[in-house]
Structure 1
Amino acid sequence: MWQILTGYWSEFITGFGNTILCSLIAMFFSLILGVFFALLEVAPPKIGRAIAHIYIEIFCNIPLLVITMIFYLIIPQFWVKVSGFTAGTIGLALYTSAFIAETVRSGINSVGDGQMEGALSNGMTYVQAMRYVILPQAIRIVIPPLGNQMITLIKNSSVLAFVAGFDLMYQGDIVAFSSFQTIETYVIVGVFYLVLTLPLSYYMRHLEKRLA
């Protein structure tokens, strides 16, 4: 196993770096989109709720691989060609954002109705009340499940391997086929994923205890 790691170190490091980059980009945009559509889901205008509901239903119920393939194979036929890395990152962000939206919405709904009523009675607008009163409490409530979503996102980044995204799994496949040492290669790939997910998991537990 050590010979595989040292002999193909550059491949593993390249894949590891691309996995980190993809995960960070997808985390950023999935959080923005997730919070945005969660707010639409609970907003008074019915059209906003309808749009959010359609978005969430679509991306929650289509497999991540299918979403990625749409951006990698179908979209380029009608618009602009994108790399496998870009297609995978976009698919991952859209897919994860739908679950984040549901998570944040449940957090908003768990905040008592009296909070909104009290904020409005004190002269705040709906937007101000949501921004300064409701949303901070909701985010604090949903931090543990959001942490789980981030860990899942990192593991789901392996979808890039199907579209030549040069992520950790893709590089692992190349090493496995080149070295003919499949077991050792994928054990190393698994360890690299643990290096990413375990610290995040322990940090989220620590943060959950602090917030409690």
Structure 2
Amino acid sequence: MTDLPDLGAYDLPAAFGVTLRLAVYSAAGSLVWGTVLAGLRVGPVPSMRAFAAVYVTVLRNTPLTVIIVAASLGFHQTLGVTLGGETAKQAGFRLAVLGLAAYTATFVCESLRAGINSVPAGQAEAARALGMSFTQVLGLVVLPQAFRAMIAPLATVLMSLTKNTSVAAAIGVGEAALLMKEMIENESHAVFAVFAVFAFGFVCLTLPMGLLAGWVGRRVAVRR
């Protein structure tokens, strides 16, 4: 019979707390930046459309680990950027949030762009006929419907983000994946039990999000 790990010797709540904070802050940043990118991709300015298209294409096809490590090595160690963090630990956390948000925003952008394309073109044309600017049409008419139509895909993106926070361990951020690595090294007799504990922890973080998104999606679904 496999021995159980000594869970009392490790601060699991603190590790999952860091994971949750990474997910929440990165989700907020990615939703804002992803919405901006989606607006640029459907906007009337060719240079802005090109910038957004290149950004999305490049970052979507770059491994997240590369982005996180590049943020740490490039911004922090080479350029000395700390994003206001007084210690290396704080700087690492904030740079991990930056990398996660920059990466996840590309998937938010593409989900929103699909939602924007699902809005009947006649609505935007009617709004423009009333004298509304592109920004007003996008913000007041198109995006509210796009968000409502894309709640389920956006929830999937944010659930993936929660699991992707484990990549932050690559730059020493003390979240759940880094603690799991430490526990595997110290509790080699109970490897599968350690895996089960952390799998259960991530399920507890992501499952409520999926259930909530399903409920909200049904409540605000756009009726065609």
- The answer, yes or no, to whether TM exceeds 0.5 is yes
Contact 2:26–2:101 at 8 Å: present in 1 too? Answer: yes
User: Residues of 2 paired with 1:177 and 1:158: CA distance?
Assistant: 17
61, 73, 94: which one pairs with 2:102?
Answer: 94
Quote the residue 1:6 is aligned against: 8
User: Residues of 1 paired with 2:49 and 2:126: CA distance?
Assistant: 23
Aligned residue identity for 2:7: L
Q: How many residues align?
A: 210
1:203 aligns with 2:212: yes
User: Residues of 2 paired with 1:56 and 1:41: CA distance?
Assistant: 10
> 1:179: Cα distance to partner?
2.4
1:105 aligns with 2:113: yes
Contact 1:4–1:185 at 8 Å: present in 2 too? Answer: no
1:179 aligns with 2:187: yes
User: Residues of 1 paired with 2:179 and 2:36: CA distance?
Assistant: 35
TM-score, length basis structure 2 = 0.88
> 1:26: Cα distance to partner?
0.4
Quote the residue 1:128 is aligned against: 136
193, 196, 201: which one pairs with 2:202?
Answer: 193
> 1:74: Cα distance to partner?
2.8
Quote the residue 1:157 is aligned against: 165
Any stretches of 5+ residues in structure 1 without a counterpart?
A: none
> 1:3: Cα distance to partner?
5.4
Coordinate RMSD, CA, aligned: 1.5
In terms of fraction of residues, the more helix-rich structure is: 1
Residue deviations 1:121-168 (CA, integer Å, cap 9, x gap): 122222111111111111111111000001000000000122111011
Any stretches of 5+ residues in structure 2 without a counterpart?
A: 83-90
1:115 aligns with 2:123: yes
User: Residues of 2 paired with 1:50 and 1:135: CA distance?
Assistant: 21
Q: 170-179 or 47-56, which moves further after superposition?
A: 170-179
User: Residues of 2 paired with 1:3 and 1:176: CA distance?
Assistant: 9
Residue deviations 1:3-29 (CA, integer Å, cap 9, x gap): 533332x2x112101001111110010
User: Residues of 2 paired with 1:126 and 1:208: CA distance?
Assistant: 27
> 1:54: Cα distance to partner?
1.1
User: Residues of 2 paired with 1:203 and 1:29: CA distance?
Assistant: 20
Identity over the aligned pairs, expressed in percent? Answer: 31
> 1:209: Cα distance to partner?
1.9
User: Residues of 1 paired with 2:143 and 2:81: CA distance?
Assistant: 38
Q: Secondary structure at the match of 1:73?
A: helix
Contact 2:5–2:187 at 8 Å: present in 1 too? Answer: no
User: Residues of 1 paired with 2:75 and 2:215: CA distance?
Assistant: 42
Contact 2:65–2:167 at 8 Å: present in 1 too? Answer: yes
Q: Secondary structure at the match of 1:195?
A: helix
Q: Secondary structure at the match of 2:132?
A: coil
